[in-house]
């Protein structure tokens, strides 16, 4: 899954990607490089980020979706937790709704997925962007993450989303200290067995890597990302969400071959 953030405060995007034409070109390039999905986001959800209105989010993503309609041969995911944005984006061609809140912020998002037939990604997180680190306390890391993801899956299915259209994301870096993110990665097989849904893992360029590789800017974390992506695939991830598609395609393919022979 290639990441396409069209936000002025994204932590890892080039400025030209914030413009609709540049963003559409970046999406086409990622598809050529081997991406299977493109995840378009109009609001930064990194820890500490300021929320934006649904109107502002739509103003950022809709011009990109309109430029990609009929041109992109792979599915588009809309990275939003707002039901109104999700409905408009699906109408414009998005096939997947990627909700970082796990349906906690806007439960009506599940209804949108059910009514439109979109697939739904529910991510594990706690609190909101500005306060999530205060919620990073676990007695049983994987058990609690699995239980909270299972609750999100139940919310989706209760709203009418078929279970086989639901994907779960353990939310590396969201309401998790670095040790928690590493712990989730290390125990992905346990988590996968507990939730029994396909896993999406997003480690790309995240700050939890700093305690291993030093205080490098996000664009210099791709080697660390490669290690995390390989670990995710070996641990059973079905989708990995990345910024640098071309090199990570190679990482995924080699890791997948290793997994096959295991």
**Which residues are the active-site residues?**
206, 241
Q: Give the angle subtended at the CA of 157 by the CAs of 154 and 159, to the nearest 5°.
A: 110
Q: Which of 146, 187, 186, 138 lies closest to 168 in space, CA to CA?
A: 146
Q: Which residues contact 188 (CB under 8 A, 6 or more apart)?
A: 170, 199, 201, 231, 232, 235, 236, 237
Q: At what angle do helices 54-68 and 83-91 cross, to 10 degrees?
A: 20
How buried is 67 (Cβ within 10 angstroms: 0-12 exposed, 13-18 middle, 19+ buried)? middle
Q: Give the integer Cα–Cα distance in Å for 15 and 7.
A: 9
């Amino acid at each position: 899954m290639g990441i396409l953030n069209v936000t002025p405060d994204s932590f890892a995007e080039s400025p030209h990607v914030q413009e609709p034409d540049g963003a559409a070109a970046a999406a086409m390039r990622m598809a050529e490089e081997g991406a299977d999905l493109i995840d378009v986001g109009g609001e930064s959800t990194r820890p500490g980020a300021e929320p934006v209105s649904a109107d502002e989010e739509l103003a950022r993503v809709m011009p990109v979706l309109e430029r990609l309609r009929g041109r992109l041969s792979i599915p588009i995911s809309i990275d939003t937790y707002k039901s109104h944005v999700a409905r408009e984006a699906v109408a414009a061609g998005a096939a997947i709704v990627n909700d970082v809140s796990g349906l906690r912020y806007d439960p009506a998002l599940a209804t949108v997925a059910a009514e439109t037939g979109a697939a739904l990604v529910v991510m594990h997180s706690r609190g909101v962007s500005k306060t999530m680190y205060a919620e990073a306390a676990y007695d049983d890391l994987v058990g609690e993450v699995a239980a909270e993801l299972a609750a999100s899956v139940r919310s989706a299915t209760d709203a009418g989303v078929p279970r086989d259209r639901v994907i779960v994301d353990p939310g590396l870096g969201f309401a998790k200290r670095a040790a928690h993110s590493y712990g989730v990665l290390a125990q992905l097989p346990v988590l996968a067995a507990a939730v029994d849904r396909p896993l999406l893992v997003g480690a790309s360029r995240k700050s939890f890597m700093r305690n291993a590789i030093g205080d490098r800017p996000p664009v210099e974390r791709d080697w660390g990302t490669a290690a995390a992506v390989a670990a995710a695939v070996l641990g059973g991830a079905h989708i990995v969400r990345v910024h640098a598609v071309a090199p990570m395609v190679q990482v995924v393919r080699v890791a997948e071959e290793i997994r096959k022979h295991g």
